[in-house]
Structure 1
Amino acid sequence: MKSKLLGILGLLIPLVAIAPSFAQFNTNDPDVFLKGQASSCQGCNLRGADLSNTRRVNAQLRQADLTEANLSDGYFEGAYFTCADLTRSQLENAEFPYANFVDANLSGADLSGADLSKTDLSGAIIDDTTNLAGANLEGAKLWDARTIYQPGVDLSEIPRNKDIEKQRVKCNNQ
């Protein structure tokens, strides 16, 4: 009996090892992503989606349309929002440590109280309609990779390097 059980376990363990893990699964179906059945949804239409109070570590949301989406109080450590459109999205009190917002559109986004520590915001569209009140930007990269936010720095005083911006690969949302 014991040897049969060990034999069955020996057959099951390799199957578990080769099954795709949640962290590796990418989908193009927004519903699959929203149900939590996939960790990534690159290029997906997530316009107006409710991802509040959601935990997604290392999510791949490159080029996703997150216009007017609600990510407030969520946890998105290491997530990729490269070239994503987050126009007028709600990101209040969400945590984005080590996330990547390179060339993302954050126009009109509410990032009040958000944790953007060590986040890469190079080339992101941050304008006068973007709310960063109370956001933690400690160690965040802004404008280009050489500009690192230090506490107490007035964001409006950080010079933008127009030559570097012209060399950047632009997203469709710009």
Structure 2
Amino acid sequence: MNKATNPIPIALAVVVIALGTSAPARSQTEDLAERFLRGEVRNCQGCNLAQTNLSKTIRKNARLRQTNLRGANLSESNFEGAYFTCARLNDANLSNSNFIFANFVDADLAGANLAGADLRYADLSGADLTGANLSGAKLDGAKLWDAATIYDGSQDLDRIERSPKTARLRCEAGDS
């Protein structure tokens, strides 16, 4: 005698297994951010690294264009030659870090702590430095063309390249 099997429990078991194994979809930028934090990649363009602790990190020549680093801790790190073009670094801690030859063109550094940072030969053209702490920062050869900042008198501006051009909106246009 043939036993007939009931198809409902089998179908239900398949649905339960399928639901139990599905993980939420991860975006490519989330995966890229995790790989950047592990040091596996140097390019994290457009990643969200807000409030991330990157202190004492070495990421020379990193590509962080349009990356959100708002409130992140990059203190005592080495980002020599890194690209922060159009990045959001407002209220970030960048104190005592190496940013020699780094590119901060059109970056938002408003309220950032750059105390003691080495910004020699860095390009800060068009950057927003409003309210940034630049005390003790090394700015020899730095470019500050079109940068918005409040000068507090603590820096030697004779050794800084600058021009009175108006600010550009290249980040929104994607021209940087």
TM-score with structure 2 setting the length: 0.71
Structure 1 counterpart of 2:50, from 22, 47, 50 = 47
| 1:97 matches 2:100 | yes
Structure 1 residue 59: deviation in Å?
A: 0.3
CA distance in 1, matches of 2:88, 2:127: 10
Aligned ranges for residues 18-33 of structure 1 at < 5 Å?
28=29, 29-33=32-36
CA deviation digits over 1:99-130, x for unaligned, max 9?
A: 00000000000000000000000000011x10
Structure 1 residue 61: deviation in Å?
A: 0.2
| 1:68 matches 2:71 | yes
Structure 1 residue 46: deviation in Å?
A: 0.4
Structure with the greater alpha carbon radius of gyration: 2
Structure 1 residue 159: deviation in Å?
A: 6.1
Q: Which runs of 4+ in 1 moved over 4 A?
A: none
CA distance in 2, matches of 1:46, 1:133: 25
Contact 2:144/2:163, CA 8 A, preserved across alignment: no
Structure 2 counterpart of 1:83, from 66, 80, 86 = 86
Structure 1 residue 44: deviation in Å?
A: 0.2
| 1:124 matches 2:121 | no
Identity %: 52
| 1:142 matches 2:149 | no
| 1:35 matches 2:23 | no
What does residue 6 of structure 1 align with?
A: none
CA deviation digits over 1:49-82, x for unaligned, max 9?
A: 1111000111000000000000000001110000
Contact 2:127/2:146, CA 8 A, preserved across alignment: no
TM-score with structure 1 setting the length: 0.71
CA distance in 2, matches of 1:70, 1:30: 15
Residues 159 and 58 (structure 1), Cα distance of their counterparts in 2 relative to 1, 3 Å cut: closer
Structure 1 residue 144: deviation in Å?
A: 4.5
What does residue 133 of structure 1 align with?
A: 135
Give the total of aligned pairs: 134
CA distance in 1, matches of 2:40, 2:54: 13
Query: Partner letter of residue 139 of structure 1?
Result: G
CA distance in 2, matches of 1:49, 1:80: 18
CA distance in 1, matches of 2:63, 2:164: 27
Structure 1 residue 32: deviation in Å?
A: 1.1
| 1:171 matches 2:171 | yes
SS in 1 for 2:170: coil
